[in-house]
Amino acid sequence: MKTDHNSLARQQETENFVPKPKTRPAAPVESEKKLTAPAIREIFARFQAANPEPKGELEHVNAFTLLVAVVLSAQATDAGVNKATRALFAEADMPEKMLALGEDRVREAIKTIGLFRNKAKNVIALSRALIENHDGEVPADRAALEALPGVGRKTANVVLNIAFGEPTLAVDTHIFRVANRTGLASGKTPLAIELALEQAVPEEFLLHAHHWLILHGRYVCKARKPECPRCLIADLCLYEPKTTLTEFKS
């Protein structure tokens, strides 16, 4: 039976937002109140002041290796992907080299990553598609990216943002949680949050907005216990009840 690579990509990206019983915390409750425009501007001004040039944590050397890394990152940590791809990218940093490497060797290289068998198929298939349809180059176009095997909207947004400097918002589980929790935006799906944030975030902050929010969600506004005492936007955030210093003492 033929594999529907794009359906698989959409499923993998969607699964990041479906809480699993007993293994994940409940989805964040949407704030009844929404932050005002001045408060949102102040939030991003603080993020910018603290980290003027935020960077993604997936290691890559060009647009192709970025694309592959993001495809591999579905339901996997950036650290885990980086560990697997360092040797892989040293051998294959272009679609032609990846195709020549072959599915078996790609699968072996990424076997420590979740869903590695299907991801290896996708990496080879998208490499072939890039060669056949785009002269081996990663397209700077959302529709063309999403037509590639294993590439969904979130992956396309990451590539457009990092590789091509487009002000896109790639909504992962961290951004979904932070937006709903803080009052930056509300929504029940990644797309709803993406569209709401596009309207809410001031234009001058859009380019780096998704990196600031991802890093904030990953290291401060954590799912199980947000570290409110060291949060630089705690006084603006609408989340209640906020955690206290005593909750982090051993």
Three-state SS for 179-221 is HHHHCCCCCCCHHHHHHHHHHHCCHHHHHHHHHHHHHHHHHCC
User: Helix, strand, coil proportions of the chain in percent (round to 5)?
Assistant: 60, 0, 40
Nearest to 71 by CA among 144, 175, 145: 145
Judged by DSSP in three states, 78 sits in helix
Per the listing, tokens 């909207």 go with: 153
Among residues 22, 121, 141, 172, the one annotated as catalytic is: 172
Instruction: Assess whether 78 carries a catalytic annotation.
Output: no
Among residues 97, 104, 119, 154, the one annotated as catalytic is: 154
Residues 6+ apart with CB under 8 A from 21: none
Active site residues: 154, 172
